Structure 1
Amino acid sequence: MKRLIRIGSRDSKLALIQTQMVIDSIERHHPEIKIELVKMKTTGDKILDRTLEQIGGKGLFVKELDEALLSGAVDITVHSYKDLPMILSEQLPVVALSKRADPRDVLILPEGALELTPGKPIGCASKRRQLQLAALFPETPCKPVRGNVQTRLRKLDSGEYGALVLAAAGVERLGLQGRISRYFSTDEILPAASQGIIAVQGRLGEDHSYLREFNSVESWFVSLAERSFVKALDGGCTAPVAAFAEVLDEDLSLKGFYYEEGKPIFLGSVSGMKEDAELLGERLSKEAKMVK
Structure 2
Amino acid sequence: MEPKRLRIGSRESLLAVAQTRLVIEQLKANYPELSFELVTLKTTGDKILNKTLDKIGGKGLFVKELDQALLDGRIDMAVHSMKDLPMEISDDLPVAAVPKRGDPRDVLVLPSSGDFEEFGQVIGSSSARRVLQARRLFPEAEFQSIRGNIHTRLRKLDKGQYSALIMAAAGLKRAGLEDRISRFFSAEEMLPAAGQGTLCVQVRKDFDRSFFSCIHDRETELVTEAERGFVRALDGGCSSPIAAYAEITGSDLCLTGLYYNAADNTGRKMSITGKAQDAGELGWCLAEQIQE
* TM tier, smaller: over 0.9
Deviations 1:27-77 (A, max 9, x none): 111123221111100000011011001111001000100000111111100
1:121 is displaced (CA, Å) by 1.3
CA distance in 2, matches of 1:36, 1:209: 20
Equivalent position of 1:174 in the other structure: 175
Q: Structure 2 counterpart of 1:153, which letter?
A: L
- SS at 1:44 equivalent: helix
Deviations 1:71-99 (A, max 9, x none): 11111000010111111111101100010
Equivalent position of 1:101 in the other structure: 102
The answer as to 2:32 corresponding to 1:70 is no
- Asked if the contact 2:121/2:140 (under 8 Å) is kept, the reply is no
Q: Structure 2 counterpart of 1:264, which letter?
A: T
Equivalent position of 1:242 in the other structure: 243
Which of the residues 255, 277, 291 maps onto 2:279? 277
Instruction: Please report the RMSD computed on the Cα atoms of aligned residues, expressed in angstroms.
Output: 1.3
Equivalent position of 1:225 in the other structure: 226
- Asked if the contact 1:2/1:32 (under 8 Å) is kept, the reply is no
- Asked if the contact 1:2/1:34 (under 8 Å) is kept, the reply is no
CA distance in 1, matches of 2:198, 2:120: 35
1:116 is displaced (CA, Å) by 6.1
CA distance in 2, matches of 1:116, 1:201: 43
- SS at 2:239 equivalent: coil
CA distance in 2, matches of 1:17, 1:208: 23
* Of 110-119 and 150-159, the range deviating more from structure 2: 110-119
1:2 is displaced (CA, Å) by 5.7
Distance verdict in 2 for CA 1:248–1:118, change over 3 Å: closer
Q: Structure 2 counterpart of 1:8, which letter?
A: G
TM-score by length of 1: 0.96
Runs of 4+ with >6 A deviation:
none
Identical positions, percent: 51
Q: Structure 2 counterpart of 1:273, which letter?
A: K
- Asked if the contact 1:40/1:64 (under 8 Å) is kept, the reply is yes
CA distance in 1, matches of 2:171, 2:80: 12
Mapping of residues 13-32 of structure 1, within 5 Å: 13-32=14-33
Equivalent position of 1:209 in the other structure: 210
TM-score by length of 2: 0.96
Q: Which runs of 5+ in 1 are unaligned?
A: none
Q: Which runs of 5+ in 2 are unaligned?
A: none
Q: What is the aligned length? A: 290
Equivalent position of 1:34 in the other structure: 35
- Asked if the contact 1:193/1:242 (under 8 Å) is kept, the reply is yes
Equivalent position of 2:253 in the other structure: 252
* Of 205-214 and 98-107, the range deviating more from structure 2: 205-214
